[in-house]
Amino acid sequence: MYRKKNVDLKLWFNKPNRKPLIIRGARQVGKSTLVKLFARDDQLELLEINFERNPHYAQFFETKDPKEIINLLEINFNITINDKTLLFLDEIQAQPQILQCLRYFYEEMPSLAIIAAGSLLDFELRSPSYSIPVGRISYMYLQPMGFVEFLLADKQDKLAKYIESYAFGMDIPKIIHQKLSREFKAYMAVGGMPEAVKIYTQTHSLKQTEEVKQDLLATFQNDFAKYSKQHQFQLIGKVFAQISKNIGHKIKYTNLSRESKSADVANVIDLLAGARVISKIVRTSANGLPLAAEANFKFFKVIFLDVGLVSTQLNASAQLLSRQDVLLINNGELAEQWIGQALLLATHSNQTPELYYWAREKKSSSAEVDYVIVNSDKILAVEVKAGKTGSLKSLHLFMQEKQSRMSIRFNSDQPSYYAKDKIMSLPLYIAEQTYAIINSMKHSS
């Protein structure tokens, strides 16, 4: 299945000052498959070493001398390693000390292409036990498949290209809008986990796809023991089960576990975020850049890894296919999950994925917008809501307070622009193109 990140891998591979690359992402988002497809498409000789299956291969890297390491690998695998070889160190979290070797490859053998990846790798990258070669490695963040990739997997190439080529001001004919809306509801039910997409596009059976997603959820739960202490295991499971029910709401620890201490629940949330199973949406005052400078990490919302897994946890997959408007399901929380996921998908592959929201809590004039984003040097508010633009009170308050020139509202309707309110209204299915659409608006003005 085609992944957009393949383009980013090509750019990385062709850099004259290429560094070893670490792919970061949650379990089962397709890291290993992406590397294999890239090697195949670019006709590279792939040498894959999986340290979870073969921990003894770590002995090859004990010397820290790149030339000696390569010599040992050539002897063991009976191959010649050269500039057309891609060395893939998979499940490297099982032998994290090998990460230190990457700096020596960059300094002494920069012509050799090296990619490392692994589940739960983020825990090792922030561990004080190992020295990560800062400035000598590159990162790529991989998310679940987006709607465009879903369409491509389902052999709807023309429809995928149509979305990708959309620019500000273009009309989407009603019949095309209706078709995109139907396909998008299928995507919301299936989600973007590659295994689920593969089964659905092969069978178009929601029942078989649900079985796959249940297995994926069980896989995440089985991982809890790998990054938690024994007494945390049950609490992680409880919080994990509650996350989908709290999307779109400011997190209150008592809503996740009434019996546990707030500090313990907070630690569990950090663990799930470290495993990239969830993403925090942190409150910011949004008075200037960067947004993180005025972030208040005491207040945050969360989204789950994938909208399809959320729909399974909420038993909403069948509803998504039968309901006319996805905003009517679970009070629009599934739609808010998708927009957050789409904004992460739209983040540059080597940029740390971050999400923020804005809130003003005053008795007389409280307000909240679902997301705030940055395009160039401009801060824009993003709302996920049906209805007329005049009813978007929080969006208007944000624009007035921040003197913002434009905001974005996502709903299920065809695209439109309300010049008086300076609000761009976009259909949910086009959210991955948000930044491209904003940029096309600049060029058209």
pLDDT digits (tens, 9 = 90+) for 302-349: 999 999 999 999 999 988 888 778 887 888 899 999 999 999 999 988
The model's pTM is 0.94
363, pLDDT greater than 90 = no
Distance CA(428)–CA(415), nearest Å, equals: 10
- Residue 432 pLDDT class (50, 70, 90 cuts): very high
> Averaged over 24-33, what is the pLDDT?
95
Under DSSP, the state recorded for 28 is: T
Q: What is the pLDDT of residue 287?
A: 94
> Averaged over 156-167, what is the pLDDT?
97
Distance CA(196)–CA(190), nearest Å, equals: 7
442, pLDDT greater than 90 = no
DSSP string computed for 239-286 = HHHHHGGGTTS---HHHH-TTS-HHHHHHHHHHHHHTTSEEEEEEE--
Q: What is the pLDDT of residue 64?
A: 87
> Averaged over 423-433, what is the pLDDT?
96
- Residue 361 pLDDT class (50, 70, 90 cuts): confident
> Averaged over 273-295, what is the pLDDT?
95
132, pLDDT greater than 80 = no
Distance CA(9)–CA(231), nearest Å, equals: 41
226, pLDDT greater than 90 = no
- Digit-coded pLDDT (tens) for 252-273: 999 999 999 999 999 999 999 9
- Residue 390 pLDDT class (50, 70, 90 cuts): low
Q: What is the pLDDT of residue 105?
A: 96
Residue appearing with tokens 């799930």: 272
> Averaged over 227-256, what is the pLDDT?
89
- Digit-coded pLDDT (tens) for 202-211: 999 999 999 9
* Beta-ladder partners of 87: 47, 114
445, pLDDT greater than 60 = no
Q: What are the residue ranges of CATH 3.40.50.300 in the chain?
A: 5-141
Angle between helices 101-108 and 66-77 (to 10 degrees): 100
Distance CA(346)–CA(349), nearest Å, equals: 8
Q: What is the pLDDT of residue 350?
A: 84
Closest CA to 5 of 350, 431, 353: 350
- Residue 376 pLDDT class (50, 70, 90 cuts): confident
Two tokens, residue 214: 């249940």
Contact predicate 371/355, CB 8 Å: yes
Two tokens, residue 405: 């020139």
Q: What is the pLDDT of residue 398?
A: 95
138, pLDDT greater than 60 = yes
DSSP string computed for 401-434 = HHT-S-EEEEESSPPEEETTTTEEEEEGGGGGGH
56, pLDDT greater than 70 = yes
Angle between helices 174-190 and 194-203 (to 10 degrees): 120
> Averaged over 373-382, what is the pLDDT?
93
Residue appearing with tokens 């609000």: 423
Domain 5-141: CATH superfamily is: P-loop containing nucleotide triphosphate hydrolases (3.40.50.300)
Angle between helices 194-203 and 206-223 (to 10 degrees): 170
> Averaged over 79-102, what is the pLDDT?
94
Q: Three-class SS of residue 135?
A: coil
Residue appearing with tokens 């049906």: 386
- Our measurement of the distance from residue 56's CA atom to the centroid of its chain's CA atoms, rounded to an integer in Å, reads 32
> Averaged over 212-236, what is the pLDDT?
87
Q: Backbone dihedral region of 291: left (phi > 0), alpha (psi from -120 to 50 degrees) or beta?
A: alpha
Q: What is the pLDDT of residue 231?
A: 62
Residue appearing with tokens 């993003």: 382
